Structure 1
Amino acid sequence: MGSRLVPFLFTSLAIATLFSFFLIYSPNPLLTIAKQGLNSIQIQPNLHAVQEQDHQDHQDLDHNNIKLQPPTKKEEEKCDLYKGHWVPELRGPMYTNLSCATIPESKNCFKNGRRDSDFLNWRWKPDKCELPLFDPNTFLEIVRGKKMAFIGDSVARNHVESLLCLLSQEESPKDVYKDSEDRFRTWYFPQHDFTLMKLWSKYLIAADERMVNGTGSGTFNLHLDRLDDQWARHLPI
């Protein structure tokens, strides 16, 4: 019995020693294990798992734990952010329909019956550099005490709705103003004294529709020297 116990104890001690060295000298051992595990399996969309996670689960994602080195001056000079491709993002999205309370009902894909979720797990990768993850806390500190407006049509609206979801992971905004057609909206982040606005405009500049026999023709006269007053009057000037 004693002769068998000695090799067993020696083997156990050796394994424990190797594992200790791995934990001590690896820069991020848990992240290494997690990445290896993800790379060894095929990720399948799981809508039920996404919907069953609560708000706290999404706040505990590893986004803030993964730090990317800032680009060097040489990389900044050569990197074209518009030249790149979409790559899989195994860490998952920055927010979901559960962690973002500002998603409009019409944009809540899962609530409206969408079954797949793989479309969430992608990110834009420039060919010659790495894009750092968006940090809502850093952004809110930069815009502290300021006002920002997204002016335009549905494209501008999509941008502001996405930004709202990103920032709401750090602070929940107050819905300050909404017109009857939901074209003009204002949100306020009291902890950072930051105001975010969505101002609708078809052309950004003044436009008059040409009338033919009292009927709109669908053709507009554009006045390049005048702003569209529908959005300009909402600016806090």
Structure 2
Amino acid sequence: MRKFVGVSNSNQQQEQHGRTRTASLSLAALKYYFYAGSRSKVGVASSERCCAEPRSGAEEGGVAMPKPQQSPPSTTSPPPPPSTPAASSSAKPPRPLPLGLDSLASSARSLLSAARRSPVITLVAAFFLLSLFMYGEDVRTIAELSIDDYLYPDAEFYNVSGLPPLLLPPPTCELSRGRWVFDNASVPAYREKECTFLTKQVTCLANGRPDDTWQYWRWQPNDCSLPMFDARRFMEAMRGKRLMFVGDSLNRNQWESLVCLVQPILSKGRKKVVKRGSFNTFYAMEYRATLEFYWAPFLVESNSDNPNFHSIDQRIIRPERIEAHASNWRGVDYLIFNTYIWWMNTADMKVRRPDSRYWSEHDEVPRIEAYGRVFKTWSNWLEENIDPARTSVFFMTISPLHNSPEKWGNPNGIRCVKETLPVLNYTEPLDLNHDMRMYDLVANVAKNMKKVPVTLIDITRMSDYRKDAHTSLYSIRQGKLLTPKQKAKPEKYADCIHWCLPGVPDVWNQILYTRILSKSSSPSPHPSLPPQ
């Protein structure tokens, strides 16, 4: 019998697979009816709405909206159609749906036809069509996965037993302690132009950066080797699962990196990104898996929860309120959190009063005090709501800013502008003005978790040395590339926070990959799609 990494071939899984197929047939019927066309004009109109692009974050208000409940399709047969003249013998008969799905599609047509005769049914049909208009992309994605499950019930798992054994570093090896080694043979793992899912914020070469040497540095831990990222091994571990980054734009930076690392092994047309409100979701259909990013820059509720429209100068949080975000984290198999950079504007944090009606009703408290209150709320929620047998939790430490060139021996420099090499000749950590109290607080919270383990992914020191790898002047601002006038003011416009891709976040994902495979997780017995 063949062995597979992260895959169960038991009869129980096959039975669950069969139940999942059966439960998804109605969605497959809806996809067939609304996408293949229908003989009803109403059906055509609803098909056009179903296929519309999802609304932008501005239209959604930056909030992931719950899916409305839909009644199961009627199983009664539709009334017989009125008699029509005999069709030409040369006309092709309509293509039948598999396994009797014609009856389900006919039921949908019956509902739409009956809407003309009954006000109640008209209201139900209108609500149904409105739901398709609002969630058409989601319905289409679910239907595609459902039909895939029907058409390819016995799709082969990737046989990782045919690969050399994966040598994982010992748990005692500190992966974050090491050095950057120039290596233009094994890195980067992908090319910028080959990953169409990258956003303009991180495509430094396309945005005009004249050098590319930042891509060719490999991280070498001092006491062990860091496994190279194997997309097939990783996706086998993700089969039937959900992985979600939660946090700010640096976690989105890492999510984009992970998407680019895995997408080359996926077939064309079987992968896509859907963006809705706080969610960015990458669907890997062959694996029935999702890699997701969820916008929550403070983890708790704040006046910055809209990913497209939020305050830069007036950041106000509600440290004891997390459920509006956390309700979207339930049922996820891998949760990767971060929050730091959004705290660094001021020494004090604006905190909304508990029973206030408006964001303007707030107090200012020391940053570290507010940070501690947030992590008390966060850790309590994890302990009360997460099943550690199902979900693994990780936390990414501080991603550094490089705004002080005198710290790495370049007193005449301007932030990270024109830096083309890492800091190489170092004997001790750089002092880049991180608030290490926040680093220590998170480490202490993770250490004292009782029920739900939290694994820290320490990226801080290794990233400190990469002054050369930021997007700098080769990024976007308010959706547009920097103008020549803006580039002439690098002290104001250079982005020394986010990272070019390929680049440093790929190494963060190498470490995450190593930690996930070290856990030897098996696929979830109850795979689910993410909320949209």
TM-score (norm 1): 0.59
1:110-189 matches, within 5 Å, as 110-171=205-266, 174-179=271-276, 183-189=278-284
2:89 maps to which residue? Answer: none
The yes-or-no answer on 1:80 pairing with 2:174 is yes
Answer whether contact 1:201 1:228 (CA < 8 A) is retained: no
1:56 maps to which residue? Answer: none
Answer whether contact 1:207 1:220 (CA < 8 A) is retained: yes
CA distance in structure 2 between the aligned counterparts of 1:123 and 1:221, rounded to whole angstroms: 40
Report the secondary structure of 1:150's partner residue. strand
Q: CA 1:93–1:218 in 2, change beyond 3 Å: closer, same or farther? A: closer
2:192 maps to which residue? Answer: 97
CA distance in structure 1 between the aligned counterparts of 2:195 and 2:164, rounded to whole angstroms: 23
Answer whether contact 2:195 2:260 (CA < 8 A) is retained: yes
Q: CA 1:177–1:69 in 2, change beyond 3 Å: closer, same or farther? A: closer
**Structure with the largest fraction of strand:** 1
In the TM superposition, what is the alpha-carbon distance from 1:227 to its structure 2 partner?
2.0
Report the secondary structure of 1:168's partner residue. helix
2:319 maps to which residue? Answer: 222
CA distance in structure 2 between the aligned counterparts of 1:132 and 1:120, rounded to whole angstroms: 18
Structure 1 residue identity aligned to 2:272: D
Q: How many residues align?
A: 158
1:187-202 matches, within 5 Å, as 187-202=282-297
Answer whether contact 1:185 1:198 (CA < 8 A) is retained: yes
Q: CA 1:186–1:112 in 2, change beyond 3 Å: closer, same or farther? A: same
Q: CA 1:236–1:189 in 2, change beyond 3 Å: closer, same or farther? A: farther
Q: What is the RMSD computed on CA atoms of the aligned residues?
A: 2.7
Report the secondary structure of 1:98's partner residue. helix
Q: CA 1:208–1:222 in 2, change beyond 3 Å: closer, same or farther? A: farther
Report the secondary structure of 2:201's partner residue. helix
In the TM superposition, what is the alpha-carbon distance from 1:228 to its structure 2 partner?
4.8
Answer whether contact 2:272 2:284 (CA < 8 A) is retained: no
1:204-219 matches, within 5 Å, as 204-207=299-302, 218-219=315-316
In the TM superposition, what is the alpha-carbon distance from 1:232 to its structure 2 partner?
3.0
In the TM superposition, what is the alpha-carbon distance from 1:236 to its structure 2 partner?
6.2
CA distance in structure 2 between the aligned counterparts of 1:236 and 1:218, rounded to whole angstroms: 27
CA distance in structure 2 between the aligned counterparts of 1:80 and 1:68, rounded to whole angstroms: 22
Answer whether contact 2:245 2:292 (CA < 8 A) is retained: yes
CA distance in structure 2 between the aligned counterparts of 1:136 and 1:69, rounded to whole angstroms: 13
In the TM superposition, what is the alpha-carbon distance from 1:96 to its structure 2 partner?
1.2
CA distance in structure 2 between the aligned counterparts of 1:99 and 1:219, rounded to whole angstroms: 40
Which of 70, 74, 82 aligns to 2:167? It is 70
Identity of aligned residues (%): 32
- Structure with bigger RCO (C-alpha 8 Å, 6+ apart): 2
TM-score (norm 2): 0.27
**Structure 1 gaps, min length 5:** 1-65, 210-215
Report the secondary structure of 1:93's partner residue. coil
In the TM superposition, what is the alpha-carbon distance from 1:202 to its structure 2 partner?
1.8
Report the secondary structure of 1:204's partner residue. coil
CA distance in structure 1 between the aligned counterparts of 2:166 and 2:240, rounded to whole angstroms: 28
CA distance in structure 1 between the aligned counterparts of 2:238 and 2:316, rounded to whole angstroms: 39
Instruction: Identify which range, 76-85 or 136-145, moves more after superposition.
Output: 76-85
CA distance in structure 2 between the aligned counterparts of 1:111 and 1:189, rounded to whole angstroms: 26
CA distance in structure 2 between the aligned counterparts of 1:208 and 1:113, rounded to whole angstroms: 35
Q: CA 1:147–1:93 in 2, change beyond 3 Å: closer, same or farther? A: same
**Structure 2 gaps, min length 5:** 1-162, 305-312, 332-532
In the TM superposition, what is the alpha-carbon distance from 1:221 to its structure 2 partner?
4.0
Report the secondary structure of 1:220's partner residue. strand
CA distance in structure 2 between the aligned counterparts of 1:127 and 1:68, rounded to whole angstroms: 22
1:17 maps to which residue? Answer: none
CA distance in structure 1 between the aligned counterparts of 2:330 and 2:316, rounded to whole angstroms: 31
1:203 maps to which residue? Answer: 298
In the TM superposition, what is the alpha-carbon distance from 1:234 to its structure 2 partner?
3.5
